[in-house]
Amino acid sequence: PEVVSGPSADPKCYVPWADSTKFFKFPKKEGPYRIALANGFIGNTWRIQMIKTAKAYAEQPEVKAKLKEFKVVSTGEDVAAQIAAVQNFIDSGYDAIVINAQNPTAFTPVIKRAKAKGVILVAFDNILDTEDAINVNVDQKGLGEYWGKWLVDNIPNGGKVLEVRGVAGTSVDTDRHNGIHEVLDASGKKWDVVEVVGKWDDGTAQKASADAIATQKHFDGITVQGGSTGTVRAFMDAKHPFVPVGGETENGFRKLCAAHAGEGLKCASGGTGPAQVAVAIKTAIAALEGEVVPQSVKLPLATTEDPNFKDGENFYSKEGDNFFVGNSFPTCGINFTAQEIMGQSEGNQ
Amino acid sequence: MTNPLATLPVLRRLDPAVLTAFGCIVLLLLFGAMRNPNFLSPDYLLLQLQVGSFLAMVATGMMLVILLGQIDLSVPWIITVGGMMSTAAVGWGPWGATFAIPIGVLCGLVFGLVNGIGVAYLRVPSMIFTLGINAVAQGFMVLRTGGFAPQDMATESMHDLATGRLILGIPNPVWVWIAVGAVTVFLLRRTVFGRAIYAIGNRETAAYLSGIRTQRVVLAVFGISGALAAFAGALLAGYSTKAYQGMGDPYLLPSIAAVVLGGTSILGGRGTYLGTVAGVILITLLQSILSVEQIPEAYRQLIFGAVIVAMLLLYGRGAKVAA
Amino acid sequence: MTDQALTARHGGDWRYWFGEQRGTLLALAVFIAMFAIYTSNHPAGFSADVVTTAANKGVLLALVAMAQTFVVLTAGIDLSVGFIFILCNCLASHIVLGSAIQTTFGVIGVLAAGLACGALNGAIVIYGRLQPIVATIATGAAFYGIALLLREQPGGDVNEALADFLTNQFPGGIPASAVALLVVVLVIWIPFRKSMLGRVVYAVGSSESAAYMSGLHIRRAKFIAYALGGLLASIGGLFITFVTYTGEASLTNANTYTLNSIAAVVLGGVSLFGGRGSAIGAIFGALIFRTIGDLLFVFDLDPLWQPLFLGVVLLISVCLGSFRLIRIRNRLDLFG
Amino acid sequence: MDGPSSAPLFRMEGVSKRYGGVKALTNADLTVEAGHIHGVLGENGAGKSTLMKIMAGVVQPDEGRMTLDGNPVAFGNPAAANAAGIVCIFQELSLVPELSVADNICISNPPKRFGLIDQRAQRRIAEEALARAGGEDIHPLAPIKDLPLSRRQLVEIAKALVRKPRILILDEATSALTAADVRKVFSVLKRLRQEGLALLYISHRMAEIAELADECTVFRNGRNVGTFKSGTKSDTEIVELMIGREYSHVFPPKPAPQAATGTPALEVRNLSWNNRLKDISLTARAGEIVGLGGLDGQGQRELLLALFGVLRSTTGEILIDGKKCNLNCPNDAKQGSIGMALIPEDRKTEGLMLPMSVRDNLSMASLGRLSKGGLVDRAAETKAIDEMIGLLAIKTDGTAVPVGTLSGGNQQKIVIAKWLMTKPKVILLNDPTRGIDVGTKAEIYQLLRKLADQGAAILYYSTDYDELIGCCDRVLVLYDGAVGRVLSGDEITERALVSSALNIGAGQVGTGTSSMAGAGAAG
Ligand SMILES: Nc1ncnc2c1ncn2[C@@H]1O[C@H](COP(=O)(O)OP(=O)(O)OP(=O)(O)O)[C@@H](O)[C@H]1O
Ligand SMILES: Nc1ncnc2c1ncn2[C@@H]1O[C@H](COP(=O)(O)OP(=O)(O)OP(=O)(O)O)[C@@H](O)[C@H]1O
Ligand SMILES: [Mg+2]
Ligand SMILES: [Mg+2]
């Protein structure tokens, strides 16, 4: 693509990651387009919600009009399979490919090939470690900083904090962890952080938290990367007094936060909604249409903190725990509520 | 070579391996206590038993399957099936809420029976057939979550069953474990079915020619394993107050490890339930102690592997002469 | 003995050969059928690019499945293959770099590491007399720990010239990775199969006590089989580094490759009870497994139906072998 | 120390071996000379196999010395013994089931080219060895697991031959062979003796020992109780030496033939299966022992399996007490109303769960009778088991020990006992006395006759003609899956059995097999 100077076609939506971010202008192609979504892993609620959002977005009339085909393939955990899927999409002549990468650094050969064949790659969530593809990016480290700041603000004198980490060996986990610690360290208060591994999984987080409570007896604050509902449940089961928490955006977590706000459960709920896939698709279409887009788009974090939890607005007390609220990006005109995507009950299907 | 069915005084019947396994448990606790006295607190110990009982349900089914000389790799998603279907039943009105757990267990039973059909009647190696069933179960659950947005919240009574302490201050799941364990021991030691399991594990041809309906036994055992895995899923859903995708993933390898650490031969035909109990406690404690120790994940994994090998070398060594 | 009698007997040879190779041939046939379905529905058709993409992906699992085969033939199982694979991937992303000489040493280092991991498994299982399934669960955890130490986050680099050479096409559109696999088969598998070592490994897997009583050195052979398994896994680890240009200590990948290698081995007609089957069958098993995944690409399935589709196709493929049951007349043969 | 010239080829002195509480060998001696065949005798569990395993390096003795050519030796494993020229054909065989016949024959020292195994040369070697051992009919590429037991024994012999041993041990290596096969093996063994090999020959068939052995050693309870030149003692003397008590008749008297009245307990009409059983019809009345004869592999095994419900898609009818029944598995066949029992061919794979206890094995087939509502009645079980152990004089260190630790003959007794416990009405026997010592055999014959007298119908396949002659009221000789001839009463003679087994007229049979007459019929 041609590297041009900003601003982008839709500066409110396509916020460049940094001042130094390049802008791309791809040669305009005639629509309608063939776009593919190469997903890896599918076995958790976030991914299912993401795929449903992608489908729903592609079905919207004004989007649908621009698409000849929208194909989704989930290849599982194996990064080699995902690489092969992307290559197949390239060979089959798709115009743009949207990726949630199993491994951000593994796609160098694919990126080369896409570039050679003029196929636009847009990565989101787990983005690609490259300047040659478009990244729709959530500031993971910023999320850690957000949680860290919440603890600093809500625990007056510092103290003992339980940090529930994600899957070891991933950059998301490391980035969030670093964000938390940088803020805590800079606060000048005294912090004693106990780390356990929750793997972004409620059951694992709940067990690890329960063990930590049983051996440490008391914590002054919690930060949890995912599986937040499980961690709060562990504190409730252990009859540990409620303390401030920085957690993800699971509906279950927010339900608990709202229900026990009065008892000291002060929550900051922030995260990266699955709807970012829609932003990625939108970006891909814009790029195909020859519009100027930044190489790296910065998405706003979906955050809500105590006392702003509102039933029916940023959480749904009547619905299940597992889906992720914060499914809209109004600046990009993407206004699905999580409930629209995930909340339909069996009855009204 | 201790035989669980032999008529020997109770003490001689205790497998030295099982005794050593319990010794290792004490050692682990003492080691933990050196670093933090809370490891010996009743709170912590009861918590381990409570959490361990979920693994124990899975390991019980796994043990029966391993006694047959087979293996069940479908537990991760059958657990999820159990959790998700029992909570889904809650959404079907008061009738469903009452029978939530049985409905979940029933779904697990069905998957287990399909495993049994594949292994016993189609004669596909269990290691692969159950892997396939695992994939199918995952497929169904993804489809359900994505397609129907099932209700996935556990009922209050499920939560109570998994976390409450009704009797003597001991967590309810531990009582459940005791009950399931007692039934299993009875099954293995006293019933024709139990004898048949050991016989098939030792040599299916000979068992068949002895007039045992071996295929039905295999079918039933896989059914039990599926049902128990699903039951574990229902308990887990109660524990977390909800069911969710992938909730069974952390249980596959630990359940196999627990059974084998308990002295059951992976080739089938040999093993005691008490050993499995020891194995479950060992694995749960080891995971827990490693979890709360402040060391990087990499070293945790290294220590986990090394400790298991060390314990096995201590007591899990095979006979010098292979049969 | 008359010449006539001899010829009459030799006439039956193909039957025994076929009996021995049945699993491999069935796997080959299933693979060809599936791959034909795949390429004939692929928008790009049966082109060099499509085949190369499939080969690069297939060879990875094929190598790990070969690794698993060595161990399974001894009637053991290696639940750490995926972890050795990942460990070698992480190691390779550090050392397979730089000048030709440095790269060569790097490759040797990775292979040596794999060999060492396999040898450790072998030592623990054979000299420690532990049940392979749990011993390798434990060593797998340890290998993963080391992998994490090597690569806390995905990253690293690899000699790109070498990587490109091995993942692109040779003149005529032949996938380089397939050729590399062929070389591995010719250099490692065939000599193994035809040597005394292979003989002993098959014998041990079939009946350890008969092999022992026949005066074979069973422990040495088993040990070497485990070590060779580690070596093959490390070649797989090298290869994924070439495919991805990076190293990643991914727990899910390690588990996936381990379980898939077992599936591939069974699909390829290798008996999990040991002593029967061949690595060539395992290769086709791996390719079948990969092609099942590829079918997603050519059939227009709703994304939420895809996992179920994969599961059902896998299940059907493993049940194909059950058709032989229809021909069984003696029920005792069911248990054999 | 003796000079090598005067020293015997091999000598064991003061060898003892204990297994837990069991003394398998106590202070045993044995001397083996080159150019001799040394017969080893003893009842089941006397310690013969244990001694051979010590010689072959499989088992290490607790005490004692061994010398080879006068030099002390100790073997840590079979490979070491092989290297010293000692090759053993073990009672339990040591063939690798998944490998081919040729692979097995050349297993430890295959011919090589460029460091790799030369398949063609190996095949040639295997073919020659098979021909020498009398197994020309065995295809060198056939996997062992597809061969019947008798062919396996021949392969095992061929395998021993290619190893060029100095000392060859045969531990009941011919127990599954029919007379014709045994003849060929014997001629090989005699030739080996001439070539200067030392052979140790263990067998429970007295006639074989009498024909082959130059000298004999008898073991009892792990002790050497006598070594003597062959022919210096009568069979009865030998047997009494073995069992340590007086010994008289082998076969119980047969009842007078009865008129064929009433419905037979077992009737088979036009049974066919898969081209291996061809239109077989037979009847067996209560009280009758019906023998199955013929060369090995003529469908006897299949016939018994078919009756027991193991074979699929058989055609024809099976009637029990005149009622047609449809048997689809052994479970159907053993039900009270049918009451069948099958003593299978291979105890190791079909009869026993070797690692399980004597108790579990014994009650395995009778659990239905010994339980109520799926619960095992432990007291009734113990009683029934003790009864059977007494009845068959099973030598075991309690009922909790694994059956695999019993001697071969005692294992065979467990298989028989396990089925007798079900109180069967129709008993199918597939060579049930294989590996059983003479004393016990006699007890088993008595027992079978007693069961018949009590109303059981017995179908008895044996590779040993004397058993058929001595035990059976009628004999059906099978040839190529069909009933060739039916012999009854005085018609049952060796000559008639052999001629009908080969499917030729009786007159054509020479005296070639007469030396086998009286095999097993001691005293
Ligand atoms: N009946 C048997 N069946 C199987 N294994 C046995 C049996 N009896 C002994 N063994 C074991 O096999 C081992 C001996 O194997 P072997 O002598 O072949 O080893 P090896 O390959 O020579 O080992 P190394 O190369 O280290 O010397 C012994 O440790 C012994 O415990
Ligand atoms: N591995 C073992 N463990 C325990 N006891 C054993 C073992 N092997 C043999 N024995 C015991 O040693 C004794 C001698 O057995 P051995 O096999 O040498 O008898 P045998 O003379 O060969 O008898 P047979 O004629 O029945 O083959 C028996 O009492 C047997 O139970
Ligand atoms: Mg013996
Ligand atoms: Mg014997």
Mean pLDDT over D451-478 rounds to 88
Question: How many residues are there in chain C?
Answer: 336
Nearest-CA neighbor of B56 among B155, B153, B171, B169? Answer: B171
- Please report which confidence band the pLDDT of residue C42 belongs to, taking 50, 70 and 90 as the band edges: confident
Q: Which chains touch C (3 or more CB pairs under 8 A)?
A: A, B, D
pLDDT at A86 over 80: yes
Q: Report the pLDDT value the prediction gives residue D504, as an integer from 0 to 100.
A: 65
Do β-strands A120-124 and A96-99 pair in parallel, antiparallel, or remain unpaired?
A: parallel
List chain C residues with CB under 8 Å of D96: 202-203, 206-207, 210-211, 214, 275
What is the distance between the alpha carbons of residues D6 and D482, in angstroms, rounded to a whole number?
A: 58
Q: Are strands A245-247 and A191-197 parallel, antiparallel or unpaired?
A: unpaired
Q: Are D412 and D435 in contact (CB under 8 A)?
A: yes
Residue A163 phi/psi, 5-degree rounding, is -110, 115
Helix pair angle (C100-122, C81-95), 10° resolution? 160
Q: Give chain B's radius of gyration (CA, Å).
A: 20
* Cα gap D348→D358, rounded to integer Å: 14
Q: Could you tell me the CA-to-CA distances from D369 to B5, D328, D377, D424 in Å, in that order?
A: 18, 20, 9, 12
Report the pLDDT value the prediction gives residue D260, as an integer from 0 to 100: 67
Do residues B100 and B221 lie in contact, with contact meaning Cβ atoms separated by under 8 Å? no
Rounded Cα–Cα distance for residues B177 and B61 (Å): 12
User: Can you point out the beta strands (E) in A200-323?
Assistant: 221-224, 245-247, 267-271, 292-294, 296-299, 302-305
Candidate from C9, C199, C213 with C-beta closest to D58:
C213
Cα dihedral C252, C255, C261, C264 in deg (nearest 10)? -60
DSSP characters for D415-472? HHHHHHTT--SEEEEESTTTT--HHHHHHHHHHHHHHHHTT-EEEEE-S-HHHHHHH-
CB C300 to CB A71 under 8 A? yes
Percent of chain B with pLDDT over 70: 92
Whether D110 and C199 lie within 8 Å, measured CB to CB: yes
Confidence band for C231, pLDDT divided at 50, 70 and 90? very high
Please state, in angstroms and as integers, the Cα–Cα distance from residue D372 to each residue in D90, D210, D363, D382, following that order: 43, 53, 14, 15
Termini Cα distance of chain D: 43
The alpha carbon of D19 and the centre of ligand 1 are apart by a number of angstroms equal to 19
Residue A141 token pair: 């480290």
What does the pLDDT look like over C18-40, one tens digit per residue?
Answer: 888 888 999 999 999 999 999 99
Question: Mean pLDDT in chain C?
Answer: 89
Contact C207, D97 (CB under 8 A): yes
The residue nearest atom 18 of ligand 2, judged by CA position, is D47
Residues with CB under 5 A from ligand 3 (ion): D 49, 91, 408
C with D: touching (≥3 Cβ pairs within 8 Å)? yes
Q: What is the mean pLDDT of residues D449-464?
A: 89
Mean pLDDT, rounded, of chain B: 86
Which chain A residues contact residue B297 at CB under 8 A? 168-169, 197
- Cis peptide upstream of residue A32 (ω within 30 degrees of 0): yes
Q: Residue with structure tokens 């299982």?
A: C125
Spatial strand order in the sheet of D86-89 = D86-89, D167-171, D198-202, D37-42, D215-220, D223-229
Contact C9 D99 (CB under 8 A): no
Q: What is the model's pLDDT at position D137?
A: 86
Determine the average pLDDT of the residues in D351-378: 89
Question: What is the per-residue pLDDT for B316?
Answer: 66
**The residue count for chain B:** 323
> CA-based angle D64:D68:D74, to the nearest 5?
45
Banded pLDDT at B13 (limits 50, 70, 90): low
Share of chain A above pLDDT 90, in %: 23
C-alpha triplet A68, A73, A77: angle, nearest 5°: 160
DSSP state, residue D398 = -
- What is the C-alpha to C-alpha distance for residues D233 and D239, in angstroms, rounded to an integer? 10
CA–CA dist C82, C256 (Å, integer)? 7
Nearest to C331 among D97, D159, D312 (CB): D312
How far apart CA D55 and CA D76 sit, in angstroms, is: 10
Please compute the mean of the pLDDT values over residues A222-248 and round it to a whole number.
Answer: 90
Q: What is the spatial distance between Cα D413 and Cα D358, in angstroms, rounded to a whole number?
A: 11
pLDDT band at A40, cuts 50/70/90?
A: confident
pLDDT at D512 over 70: no
pLDDT of residue B115: 95
Nearest alpha-carbon partner for D96 in C279, C275, C77, C218: C275
D4 confidence band (pLDDT: 50, 70, 90)? very low
User: Greater confidence, D240 or B12?
Assistant: D240
Check pLDDT > 70 for residue D377.
yes
- The C-alpha atoms of residue B248 and residue B58 are separated, in whole angstroms, by 10
Interface of B with D in 193-232 (CB under 8 A): 193, 195-196, 198-199, 202-203, 205-213
Alpha carbon distances (Å) from B141 to B149, B228, B248, D349? 11, 18, 12, 43
Nearest ligand for residue D48 CA = 2
Place of tokens 């339990």: D92
Q: Neighbouring chains of B at 3+ CB pairs within 8 Å?
A: A, C, D
User: For the residues B126-136, what does the mean pLDDT come to?
Assistant: 92
pLDDT digits (tens, 9 = 90+) for D307-335: 998 998 889 989 888 888 888 889 988 88
Query: Given a cut of 60, is residue D17 above it in pLDDT?
Result: yes
From chain D, the residues in CB contact with C275 under 8 A are 96-99
Q: Does residue D244 register a pLDDT over 60?
A: yes
Question: What ranges in C44-131 are assigned the alpha helix state H?
Answer: 48-73, 81-95, 100-122
Cα R_g (chain A), whole angstroms: 21
A150-202 pLDDT tens trace: 999 888 888 899 999 988 877 888 889 999 999 988 988 888 999 998 888 88
Q: C-alpha distances in angstroms, C69 versus A207, C224, D96?
A: 37, 13, 19
Q: Is it the case that residue D515 has pLDDT exceeding 80? A: no
The answer to which of C320-334, D53-67, D422-436 has the lowest mean pLDDT is C320-334
Which chain C residues are Cβ-neighbours of D90 within 8 angstroms? Answer: 213
Which of these ranges, A87-101, C286-300, D508-522, has the smallest mean pLDDT? D508-522
Model confidence pLDDT, tens digit, residues A289-317: 988 889 988 888 888 888 888 888 888 88
- Looking at all shown ligands, the one closest to residue D51's CA atom is 2
Q: How many CB atoms are closer than 10 A to CB A300? A: 15
pLDDT classification of C1: cutoffs 50, 70, 90: very low
Distance C319 CA to ligand 1 centre (A): 37
Tens of pLDDT, residues B182-218: 999 999 988 999 999 999 999 999 999 998 999 999 9
Q: Residue D521's pLDDT band (boundaries 50, 70, 90)?
A: very low
Name the band, by pLDDT with cuts 50, 70 and 90, for residue C2. very low
Give CA–CA dist D216/A58, Å, rounded: 93
Q: Which domains does chain D have, with CATH numbers?
A: 10-243 (3.40.50.300), 263-339+424-523 (3.40.50.300), 350-423 (no CATH)
Q: Does an H or E element contain C175, and which?
A: strand C174-175
Residue C4, pLDDT above cutoff 50: no
pLDDT attached to residue D249: 66
> What percentage of residues in chain D have a pLDDT greater than 90?
21
Q: Is D501 helix (H, G, I), strand (E, B) or coil?
A: helix
Bond preceding residue A307 cis, omega within 30 of 0: yes
Query: What domains sit in chain B, N to C, each tagged with a CATH number?
Result: 16-25+40-315 (1.10.3470)
CA of C296 from ligand 4 middle (Å) equals 61
- Distance CA(C265)–CA(C284), nearest Å, equals 9
- Cβ pair D429, D345 in contact under 8 A: no
Q: For the residues C124-151, what does the mean pLDDT come to?
A: 92
Average pLDDT score over residue span C160-175 = 88
- Give the least confident one: A230-234, B168-172, B280-284: B168-172
Give the tens place of pLDDT for each residue, B65-97: 999 999 999 999 999 999 988 988 887 778 877
**What ipTM was reported for this prediction?**
0.87
- DSSP characters for B81-143? HHHHHHHHHHTT-HHHHHTHHHHHHHHHHHHHHHHHIIIIIS---HHHHHHHHHHHHHHHHHH
Burial of D502 (0-12, 13-18, 19+ CB in 10 A): middle
From chain A, which residues contact B within 8 Å (Cβ)?
Answer: 42-45, 48, 51-52, 168-169, 194-197, 199, 201-204, 206-208, 210-212, 214-217, 229-230, 233, 237, 252, 320-322, 342-346, 349
From CA B52, how far away is CA B57, in angstroms rounded?
9
Give the count of alpha carbons within 13 A of D493, CB side only.
10
**Secondary structure (DSSP) of D97-156:** TTSBHHHHHTSSS--EETTEE-HHHHHHHHHHHHHHHT-TTS-TTSBGGGS-HHHHHHHH
The pair of three-digit structure tokens given for residue B42, joined into one six-digit string: 């009743």
Which chain A residues are within 8 Å of C53, Cβ to Cβ?
A: 84, 87-88, 91
CA separation for the pair C297, A85 (Å, rounded): 7
Scan for tokens 């998700």, then name that residue. B84
Give the dihedral of Cα atoms B213, B216, B221, B223; nearest 10 deg: -170
Radius of gyration of the CA atoms of chain D, in A: 23
Nearest to B259 by CA among B275, B241, B248: B275
User: How many Cα neighbours within 13 Å face the side chain of C228?
Assistant: 27
The verdict on B125 touching C (C-beta cutoff 8 Å) is yes
Q: Which residue has the tokens 């987080």?
A: A205
Q: Given pLDDT bands bounded at 50, 70 and 90, which one contains residue D3?
A: very low
Q: What is the per-residue pLDDT for D5? A: 53
- Assign domain C48-335 to a CATH class: mainly alpha
Of D79, D99, D329, the CB nearest to C215: D79
Please give the distance of CA D259 from its chain centroid, rounded to a whole number.
35
Return the pLDDT at C116: 96
pLDDT for C70: 96
pLDDT above 80 (res B11):
no
Task: Find out whether D99 and C206 touch, Cβ atoms under 8 Å.
Answer: yes
Long-range contacts, A236-242 (Cβ 8 Å, 24+) = A237/A210, A237/B163, A238/A210, A238/A213, A238/A214, A240/A213, A242/A266
DSSP state letters, C200-230? HHHHHHH-HHHHHHTT--HHHHHHHHHHHHH
What are the residues whose beta carbons fall under 8 Å from the beta carbon of A38, sequence distance 6 or more?
A73, A75, A82, A85, A86, A89, A97, A98, A99, A100
User: What per-residue confidence (pLDDT) applies to C7?
Assistant: 43
Q: What single DSSP character describes residue B318?
A: P
